Chains A and B, each alone.
Chain A
Amino acid sequence: MVEIGDKVLGYATDPGIRNRGASGGMVTAILAAALERGLVDSVIVLRHINEYEAVPVITDDVDEVLASAGSMHTVPVNLAKYAAGRKVAMPGKPCDVRAVFEQAKRNEIDIDNTFIIGLNCGGTMHPVLTREMLVRMYEIDPEDVVGEKIDKGKLFFRTKDGEEKAIPIDDLEDAGYGRRESCRYCDVKIPVNADLACGNWGVIGELAGNATFCEVMNGKGVRLLENAIESGYVQIEPAGEQSIAIREKVNSAMLSLGEKWSARVFTEIPEEQRINYYMEQFADCIDCGACKEACPVCTCDEDSKCTMYHSLADDYKMSMYHMVRLLHLSDSCIGCGQCSDVCPVDIPVTSIFRRFADPAQKKHNYKAGMTLERPPFLEVMLK
């Protein structure tokens, strides 16, 4: 029936789910089916609070899963840590999936029991900045917004009186809004390491806007999709040549845009100025430890090496906490941007960490979080 490597277009059979979901409600339907038929014990979804806020919940209630339909571009939470120790299904952006793999390498997550529906991701937005952007750029009250979507390089916001306003994302980003910085230069847009890679790229013709393009990546993906079809939640049809080509085209366009951003963000700092740059940036640190708490690849508990050396009283020129973390993450940083998001003093933590992780990972010809085959280098096992 379904085989590994299949590329299909699918949508939820239930019209309610189909309308509420972002593109045909397929992901919601697959998650609901997995839960209903006992493929998993629980599902991780985002419970909507408002347009800018949602909380991750681990639920065994099918209604809760169905209620979570619809995309949230302004909730850049990483779900990986919630999957630990459970038999779950979860939706995931490429960075969620990569974080799950990094957790699995450190024996926190059993990958065979974790079903991941990957979502194509061009980027997410910071909720606080989005509200600011709505006031400044769109000139609409953030509270009036009832929906958002990203289409053809433009960001649309719909207000409750039914008006729609769009501004090209490039313009927003030049003004410092739009996607989070780490998303702009992200280099994984299609989650090829997930079990199913879903997204609306490549959905054309009359299905556009209410079907999902889905690629089956592995055996768990087959089980997820077959289960959803058998239970009558999802209907699929094979994707045409044209769909596949368009999806590829969107992907490569996004990736080349990402490369441009990467060159823009990571301007070379002359070697003699580097140490001063880092010392200045980390001098602002208030030792709150939020970047470690939010980090989805960190598997250390509370008493970890980095936090042991948190001290505001030392006279060190650079924070020992950050030095330990910089080394520790140089083999595992996935560049998800969580640390920059939570930093209360706006240190560009993610881009600093990428500056260290990129050369180290390139040197070992390694990309963190893509497969289970390469071990974490700093915990290398010798046989």
Chain B
Amino acid sequence: MADNREWEPKIVAFCCNWCSYGGADTAGMGRFQQPSSLRVIRVMCSGRIDPLHVFNAFLEGADAVLVTGCHIGDCHYVNGNYKTQVRHQFLEEMVKEMGLEPERLHLNWISASEGEKFANFVRDVTEQIKKIGPSPLKPEGVN
């Protein structure tokens, strides 16, 4: 498709049911402007997010992956987000070693009331990704 529209990145956000998904909802209800680059995947807890979901998102063509959950100490399942944090430390290290830009993987804690934070976060990431361009792991033929 040869058109002059600006390239729009694809961003996959994993949101936990109890906090960050609510945050995304609040962002919509509060009518905070957000780019259309986001695809939200709802999970019950950020602790459910296996690193392989993140890899799969990248390999299927995501330009960035956001892992979001409740603030530390607020987890609906007591300690799910601690587990996310431990995994993220290793994931971060791996993304760095692999040569993917660190901007492509983010971990953020967003509560259900932080709609504005959610919208700003998505906007920031989209800006960063627009600067660095499409992911090198994007398969052929995927925009």
Contacts and interface: CB of A to CB of B under 8 A. Distances in A.
Interface of A: 269, 271-279, 305, 309, 314-318, 320, 323-324, 326-327, 330-331, 355-356, 359-360, 363, 377-378, 380, 382
Given A330-B94, A360-B93, 13 more contacts: A274-B97, A274-B98, A279-B136, A315-B139, A316-B60, A316-B137, A320-B52, A320-B55, A324-B52, A331-B90, A363-B93, A377-B89, A378-B86
B99 A327 contact: no
A377 B86 contact: yes
B98 A278 contact: yes
10 contacts: A274-B97, A276-B99, A315-B139, A316-B60, A316-B137, A317-B136, A320-B55, A356-B97, A363-B93, A382-B83
B140 A377 contact: no
B97 A359 contact: yes
A279 B90 CA distance: 20
Nearest to A328: B51
B51 A324 contact: yes
Contacts of B143: none
Contacts of B136: 275-276, 279, 317
Contacts of A363: 89, 93
A355 B79 CA distance: 31
Contacts of A378: 86-87, 90
Contacts of B98: 274-275, 278, 356
A275 B59 contact: no
Interface in B77-96: 79, 82-83, 86-87, 89-91, 93-94, 96
Given A320-B56, A323-B55, A324-B55, A275 B137 contact: yes
B82 A382 contact: yes
Contacts of B56: 320
List 3 tightest A-B contacts by C-beta distance, closest first.
A274-B99, A275-B99, A316-B59
Contact of B83 (A330, A355, A380): A380
Contacts of A277: 99
Nearest to A331: B90
Contacts of A275: 98-100, 136-137
A274 B96 CA distance: 10
Contacts of B99: 269, 271-278
A305 B52 CA distance: 9
A323 B53 CA distance: 11
B108 to A, nearest CB: 20
Contacts of B60: 316
